[in-house]
Amino acid sequence: MSLRNPHRFLGHAWRSGQAICGFNVDSFDMAKGVIEGIEDAGVPSFLQLTPATLELWGWEAFAAGVMALIRETRVDIALHLDHATDVADIERAIAIGFSSVMFDGSTLDFAQNVRATRDIIARARPHQIFVEGEIGHVGRDGEIVAESLTSVSEAVEFSRMTGIGALAVAVGTRHGHIRGASDLQFDRIVAIREQVEVPLVLHGASRVPIPALQHAVTAGITKINMGTELRNIWWGALDRARGEKPRVALNRARTALRGYVANTLSQMSKPVVDDAQSFTNH
């Protein structure tokens, strides 16, 4: 069985200055393609589902299918509930058998975020569930709440007061929006990493060039989340298969995702040739 709590492999990556990727999926064929790509690369990773996806397909049924796929692999994979804002969703994921959850209290004020995150950790600890939190706010297109970059002082205090397992930070990327290397604030990552003793997570990493992501890892990022680019690849494969039977089109989308994930993990696993002169800081 390869469904794992990510504590060990994420901790190893953090201590050795390497990267772990988290891949967000919206359907079973996407999950299968991503899991196959992870196994092809042989690199421990996160498979990530949101509450909205689980509501659409049915929490227990969809999670059971995905966990069955994970258990067939030889590579450690954490099944992660991403961006949960409701305690009930966290509890449901724990009961189903998720090995990792993210409580997103980033739209709360600092004190509320701390209290809510500590409550989630207390609920997850008896079940040995890994917990990721967020300070600052990684926004998304069309969102009313303004983007708020993570300050070093709040990251330090949040980590100290919650005992969080991993910390998502807002350092220039944005959900659902394609950004380039110049949008990443590498100096901010370095400053946070120097004072925060837990793995840092970069959300909204789709289409950021691999060399820029490698530089972010050198600066202090340990976990990199990708979702938008997976959906772009999925839609592209379906468009090219228009008119085919649905099973044929979905299989092509699965195959495209498999190749993308395997290639991305392979590139991210290569030794980093870090050239800070190539990137622009804000």
DSSP, residue by residue, the chain = --B--THHHHHHHHHHT--EEEEE-SSHHHHHHHHHHHHHHT--EEEEE-HHHHHHH-HHHHHHHHHHHHHT-SS-EEEEEEEE--HHHHHHHHHHT-SEEEE--TTS-HHHHHHHHHHHHHHHGGGT-EEEEEESB--BTT-SSPPBPPPHHHHHHHHHHH--SEEEE-SS--BT----GGGS-HHHHHHHHHH--S-EEE---TTS-HHHHHHHHHHTEEEEEE-HHHHHHHHHHHHHTTTS-HHHHHHHHHHHHHHHHHHHHHHHHSPP---GGGS---
Neighbours of 228 (CB within 10 A): 20
| Residue 223 near residue 22 (C-beta atoms within 8 A) | yes
Token code pair at residue 37: 């790509």
The closest of 141, 70, 74, 145 to 107, measured between CA atoms, is: 145
Q: What does the alpha-carbon distance between residue 122 and residue 202 come to, in Å, rounded to a whole number?
A: 24
Kindly report the number of other CB atoms within 10 A of residue 150's CB atom.
26
Verify whether residue 82 is a known catalytic residue. yes
From the candidates 26, 40, 76, 82, give the one annotated as an active-site residue: 82
**Integer Cα distance of 44 and 266 in angstroms:** 12
- The residues carrying an active-site annotation are 82
